[in-house]
Structure 1
Amino acid sequence: MKDFITAAVFSYPHEIAILRHLLTEAGINFYFENETITAIAPLYSHALGGIKLKVHTNDLDTVKEILKNLEDSNNLKIV
């Protein structure tokens, strides 16, 4: 995909579940590189460089804001 860059990197598939919903809701074009292989073989995640969130360069600022809001949210802590 031309003009797509890595906006964030995650280690495990469960870390991207809510983010996928937020990006879709915002109408942002994205894909997760290495998502399928890490779902099948989670220990490969580090060897592959993690699950990379790829977004178009025009959407990068919006994605960074979504990531910041997600990180700052106190409602999404895992117990």
Structure 2
Amino acid sequence: MTEFVTIAIFNFAHEITILKSILDREGIPYLFQNENLVSIDPLASIAYGGIQLKVHPNDFEKVQTILDNLNNNLKIV
């Protein structure tokens, strides 16, 4: 996992739920660093550096497109 790079940072565990299912469906290897720590202690998310989405550099552009589509199309009511 040392060659994986951070592409996005989230503050809370619930923010990554939909993204995880999309990445799994697309077969993209990923790692959410600090996911368990932030789940246990969400108020200290900033202290841990948030939940960092790490992907392989070869998948960087594809994941960036997925993130852009989520930001443009996901409406939270």
Q: Identify the TM-score tier after normalising by the shorter chain.
A: over 0.9
Question: Any idea what SS the aligned residue of 1:7 has?
Answer: strand
In structure 2, the partner of 1:55 is: 55
- 1:10 counterpart residue number: 10
Listed as ranges, the matches of 1:1-79 within 5 Å are: 1-73=1-73, 76-79=74-77
Aligned-residue offset at 1:24: 0.7
Unaligned runs of 5+ in 2: none
Deviation at 1:2, TM superposition (A): 2.5
Shift of 1:44: 1.3
Once the two structures are TM-superposed, the CA of residue 49 in structure 1 deviates from its matched residue by 1.0
Q: Report the TM-score, using the length of structure 2 for normalisation.
A: 0.95
| Structure 1 gaps, min length 5 | none
Aligned length: 77
Q: Which amino acid aligns with 1:78?
A: I
Aligned partners of 1:15 and 1:77: how far apart in 2?
13
SS in 2 for 1:3: coil
Cα-Cα RMSD: 0.8
What is the percentage of aligned positions where both structures have the same residue?
A: 51
